[in-house]
Amino acid sequence: MNGEGEDVYHALFGSMTLGVIIYEMVYDDGGNPADYIILDVNQACERLLGIKRENALGRPATKVYGLKRAPHLERFHEMISKGKPFDSEECFPKIKKYFACSSIPLGGDRFTVIFKDMTERKRMEEEIKEQKERYRFLTENVVEILWTTDMDLRVTYISPSIEKVLGFTPEERKNQTVDETMTPESLRILIELIQEEIERERTGEVDPDRSVQIEVEYYHKDGRIVPMEIRAKALRDEKGNIIGFYGSSLDITEKRRAEKRVMDSDRRFYQFFENAPDYCYIVSAEGRILEINKSALKALDYGKGEIIGKDMIDTIYSEQSKKRVRGLISNLEEAGRIRNEELTIVTKGNETRTILLNADVVKDEEGGILYSISIQRDITRFKEMEEEIKRGEEKYRLLTESIAEVIWTTDMELNVTYISPTVKHVLGYTPEERKRLGLKDVAAPASLKRLTKLLSEEIERERTGEVDPDRSVQIEVEYYHKDGHTVWVEEKIKALRNEKGTIVGFIGSSHDITEKRKAEERLKESEERYRAIVENSHDGILLVDDSRRLLYTNETLCELLGYTRKELVGKDFIDLLDSDSREIVLDRYKRRQRGEDVPTRYEFSILTKNGEKRTVEVSSAVITDTKGRKMTVAQLLDVTERKLAEKALKLSRERLDLAMSVTNEGIWDWDLTTDTVFYDPRYYTMAGYEVDAFPNTLEEFRKRVHPDDIDRVMDTAWEYIRGERERYRVEFRFRRPDGSWMWILGRGRIVSRDEKGKPTRFVGTHVNITERKEMEIKIKESEERYRALFDQASDAIFMIDGAIFIDCNRATISMFGLERMEDIIGHHPWEFSPERQPDGRDSKKKAKEYIESALNGDPQRFYWKHSRKDGTEFDTDVSLSRVLVAGKSYVHAIVRDITKQRRASERIRILSSVVEQSLEGIAIADLDGNILFTNPAWVRMHGYDSEEELMGMHLSIFHTEDQFRKEVEPFNMKVLRNGFNMAEVGHRRVDGTTFPTLMTTTLLRNENGEPIGFAGIATDITSSKKAEETIREERNRAEFYL
């Protein structure tokens, strides 16, 4: 080659972008290939392999590459011998690169290897593999059905998750018409919504990127109906015209059930609250009335609007009780309850009433008071009757506690000396059988060890003499049931002492907590699902909105075009195309937006910032984000180096982004080797943060997890990473920017490991489950309100199914003289009644009639004679009303013991009858002489027609002026001094005639002994006076004759 040709060769060789090495084979003494010498390398080879030309020329490959044996020695020798080139892929571990190599014989023992860097392509292939795994995981685990339809609502795409939710395969769903997929009513509502949205569209004043949400009922393949929540957006062509719809459908069956449980629980609480005869209030933590029942409103004479929001103490309590109530309220947070406090309240009309106060607090998860429930039992009338019947008589307590647990005693060797019959229900043994068994025969070994250790420690503490002798201990123990299964009980144990205080055994109670333990186990073992999705490829990726503006570009695209990301974002992507490519790219962009079938891959030219023209292959797709906004995602690859890799990457990425765009889940990617964590934009926005509001570190995540949850969250994660858990699933609280807490469901999966199998990447999602958690809290609070009202009540309260008791409160056990709730549950009302009622009717037949009327919606209130377990009968006031729980009718019964009231009423009735039928005139007046009461005899005696015309009149109307001054006033003064007086007093009738009476008057006093009026009995002694006059005349006449 002449000098000019050699210069050209060196120029071309040096400027090639592919690496080129020229070798010459060398042989050992036996003629076998031993190595190959490097004859020449170009600049690209130096750059790609990191070697210096001057250090490589003339040296064996083993020395240059630091290897014991030259690679492919035999294969290169075979190529030289046969003259056939070959291609291969090579990995250089030391520089962490992959190369595509073409080996070509040059004649003789010389050959060349031409190679290009395929490291990026290999990395992309690995990422494609990972993304396929992500997409597979997403489609297998996503709880929503993803879909697209045409304008006739016929499905054009639907995710495989439909088979899990509705039983249909995607192919079966595509062959169905819309009226075959949902109920007629749901279809009507859906079509009306679409028509409304299309009508709004015509106004041109709505956001074309808006989304709508609606709840519909789908048909399951097995025929049942599944309620689902649809989130949908319009699918548009390049002109913005609607050509179909896309979105997601979420099964809300559990949500509906939870809402129904809340409504049922609230309805049941409201029924109890409104129908209670006592005065019931719900009071805020600040002491203001939030709710009040009908009984309280009626008694206080307030309208509901007048009292809601008012301070309870200032509004209804008397001055004498306010200080006491404030003291009770101040201790309520610590004590948690108020029981049977006797206080006085004042009505709107200033009437004072005596009540018994019971109150309980309802707290939030942090232990703060949400509100309290106060129940006032009006005992005003009862107190009045006590005064009338017997002053100073002590009232009985209406509420007692009952014990339903197993009660037992043992000696010091833990041998049972007594055990209650309830042991049969808990462990299956009769008391006699249990006494014959030792503790080791019935207690599981681990529990036996813990129990004996606890009791030994307590005995050891006893020796110090510094402990409370009346203390008790508590422990959970696993026992063997007679049939072999185990039963968990909660033991409460105290020492049994002799008269000297020495421990001689133990006494305690056992409460069956097996169901509670099972519930806790089910909670721990609840199914955990994991989903992991990793972030988008970083190779030539761009995101474009529906107005062609770039929303995002990756670093590779920036390097390809020569722009910074800041320069590219917001730019019209058409400006990046050369003039020859704009027409085809814009045409296919618009057609793809309309949903038309266009090539998935094609080539066009772009212009870099410095004007360089480069040929790329594009892969793009139309997707929607979580807000329903339509965007185009595209991947640009250099055709000469990464064409094949980009094609596979685009197909995988298109499916992944479509699935991710309609889910409301935040994605995280934890690099376990560096402890850095990637958070995708949805992760930030789901929690209310700006995108990239906090750095990609694990510590930033830890700082935002609730302090009470962080240890559990991290322990669960590391247990999964170490292989101690099959799946990763955890629920916890996460702090929003405003300081409030949201509930998160975290799931994830290990997606890559090193050569030793050690996890290196942990990827997953976080889902906002706050709504579900709040629903659970509402259910819990509603149940607590109901149970507080139910158990506080002093009256016996039942729930009756048909004619059988299915639930009752603690007051029931006391009122009926029972030992435990099981003594009444499952029985009929007439079993706790005499055979016949006082009216002679059969109790069973009469009770059934009342219950049937209540179930038909007609509330019943009536008097009933009940009987206790020991056979004693007592009087009750019974209220029956129908309540609906979970769509089923039950009878809610309130039974009030009115035995004392009945007896008092009977005594009053008898006394009243005596007064009314007395032949002597009886009148009551206040201290000023104003008449408060007169009986019929008084009215007749003074010639009046009725008692009403005398009410409020002054006593002076029954006397002449002279009589009142000379007889009545001195008479009353003596009554005031002595408390009693009896004398003859002249009276005047309504017609003015006078007559003599014998007056007996008593001074009336209040409970404090203060005078409040007079009670007088007048006997007309006219006949007596006439008889005396006759006798006197006869005596005088006799004396005259004598």
Q: For 22, list phi and psi in degrees, rounded to 5.
A: -110, 125
Whether residue 11 is predicted with pLDDT greater than 80 in this model: the reply is no
737, 756, 789 - which closes a domain: 789
- What one-character DSSP code corresponds to residue 810? H
Whether residue 855 is predicted with pLDDT greater than 50 in this model: the reply is yes
* Pair (501, 423) in one structural domain: yes
Average pLDDT over residues 10-14: 52
Average pLDDT over residues 881-906: 84
Q: What percent of the chain has pLDDT over 90?
A: 30
Please give the structure tokens belonging to residue 869.
């377990």
Q: For 210, list phi and psi in degrees, rounded to 5.
A: -70, 160
- Compute CA distances 511 → 146, 448, 541, 764, 920, whole Å: 50, 17, 65, 43, 67
In this structure, is residue 263 part of a structural domain? yes
Cα 436 from chain centre: 47
In this structure, is residue 909 part of a structural domain? no
Q: How confident is the model at residue 914 (pLDDT cuts 50, 70, 90)?
A: low
Average pLDDT over residues 378-385: 78
Which CATH number characterizes residue 92's domain? 3.30.450.20
The residue behind tokens 């007889």 is: 967
* Pair (267, 382) in one structural domain: yes
* Domain of residue 77, residue span: 10-117
Return d(Cα 143, Cα 135) in angstroms, integer: 14
* Pair (243, 275) in one structural domain: no
Summarised one tens digit per residue, pLDDT across range 782-833 is: 666 666 656 677 788 888 998 899 888 888 888 999 988 889 899 999 999 9
Please give the structure tokens belonging to residue 759.
């996890």
Return d(Cα 694, Cα 244) in angstroms, integer: 38
pTM: 0.40
3-state helix, strand, coil in the chain (%, to 5): 40, 35, 30
Complete DSSP assignment for 873-897: EEEEEEEEEEEEETTEEEEEEEEEE
Q: Which long-range contacts (CB under 8 A, 24 or more apart) does 958-967 make?
A: 958/987, 958/988, 959/985, 959/986, 959/987, 959/988, 960/986, 960/988, 960/994, 963/987, 963/988, 963/994
Return d(Cα 619, Cα 600) in angstroms, integer: 6
Domain count, the chain: 8
* Pair (740, 799) in one structural domain: no
Q: How confident is the model at residue 1039 (pLDDT cuts 50, 70, 90)?
A: low
Return d(Cα 272, Cα 797) in angstroms, integer: 9
On the CB side of 731, how many CA atoms lie within 13 Å of its CA? 12
Average pLDDT over residues 367-396: 69
Within 799-877, residue ranges assigned H as helices are: 810-815, 843-855
Whether residue 168 is predicted with pLDDT greater than 80 in this model: the reply is yes
Q: How confident is the model at residue 9 (pLDDT cuts 50, 70, 90)?
A: very low
498, 524, 550 - which closes a domain: 524
Classified as helix, coil or strand, 389 is helix
Per-residue confidence (pLDDT) for residue 123, from 0 to 100? 81
Query: For residue 734, with 0-12 CB atoms within 10 Å meaning exposed, 13-18 middle and 19 or more buried, which class applies?
Result: buried
Average pLDDT over residues 355-362: 88
In this structure, is residue 1037 part of a structural domain? no
* Average pLDDT, rounded, for the chain: 83
Per-residue confidence (pLDDT) for residue 256, from 0 to 100? 83
Q: Which of 600-609, 813-822, 900-909 has the highest mean pLDDT?
A: 813-822
Query: For residue 722, with 0-12 CB atoms within 10 Å meaning exposed, 13-18 middle and 19 or more buried, which class applies?
Result: exposed
Summarised one tens digit per residue, pLDDT across range 173-206 is: 999 998 999 999 999 999 999 888 888 888 877 7
Return d(Cα 17, Cα 33) in angstroms, integer: 31
Sheet holding 144-150, edge to edge: 155-158, 144-150, 242-251, 225-236, 211-219
* Pair (436, 503) in one structural domain: yes
* Pair (499, 555) in one structural domain: no
Per-residue confidence (pLDDT) for residue 138, from 0 to 100? 58
In this structure, is residue 1 part of a structural domain? no
Return d(Cα 235, Cα 150) in angstroms, integer: 9
In this structure, is residue 72 part of a structural domain? yes
Q: How confident is the model at residue 655 (pLDDT cuts 50, 70, 90)?
A: very low
Residue 891: closest CA among 833, 810, 842, 829? 829
* Pair (589, 494) in one structural domain: no
Per-residue confidence (pLDDT) for residue 139, from 0 to 100? 55
Whether residue 387 is predicted with pLDDT greater than 70 in this model: the reply is no
Given a contact cutoff of 8 angstroms between Cβ atoms, the answer to whether 491 and 477 are in contact is: yes
Whether residue 659 is predicted with pLDDT greater than 80 in this model: the reply is no
* Pair (353, 385) in one structural domain: yes
In this structure, is residue 346 part of a structural domain? yes
Given a contact cutoff of 8 angstroms between Cβ atoms, the answer to whether 409 and 387 are in contact is: no
CA angle centred on 478, ends 475 and 479, rounded to 5°? 120
The 10 Å CB-count burial string (b at 16+, else e) for 474-497 is ebebbbbebeeeebbbbbebbbbe
The amino acid that residue 957 corresponds to is I
Q: For 211, list phi and psi in degrees, rounded to 5.
A: -125, 160
Partners of residue 523 on adjacent β-strands:
none
* Pair (516, 552) in one structural domain: no
Summarised one tens digit per residue, pLDDT across range 38-84 is: 988 888 888 888 889 899 999 999 998 888 898 899 999 999 999 89
* Pair (65, 18) in one structural domain: yes
524, 552, 572 - which closes a domain: 524
Given a contact cutoff of 8 angstroms between Cβ atoms, the answer to whether 404 and 411 are in contact is: no
- Compute CA distances 22 → 11, 74, 707, whole Å: 16, 17, 65
In this structure, is residue 609 part of a structural domain? yes
* Pair (656, 676) in one structural domain: no
Average pLDDT over residues 583-604: 80
Classified as helix, coil or strand, 151 is coil
Helix axes 253-275, 770-792, angle to 10 degrees: 20
Q: How confident is the model at residue 415 (pLDDT cuts 50, 70, 90)?
A: very high
- What one-character DSSP code corresponds to residue 179? G
Per-residue confidence (pLDDT) for residue 552, from 0 to 100? 82
* Pair (149, 233) in one structural domain: yes
Average pLDDT over residues 486-500: 88
Query: For residue 677, with 0-12 CB atoms within 10 Å meaning exposed, 13-18 middle and 19 or more buried, which class applies?
Result: buried
Q: Where are the extended beta strands (E) located within 56-143? A: 86-92, 97-107, 110-117
Per-residue confidence (pLDDT) for residue 663, from 0 to 100? 53
Partners of residue 291 on adjacent β-strands:
282
In this structure, is residue 363 part of a structural domain? yes
- Compute CA distances 456 → 54, 462, 498, whole Å: 86, 10, 19
Q: How confident is the model at residue 1034 (pLDDT cuts 50, 70, 90)?
A: low
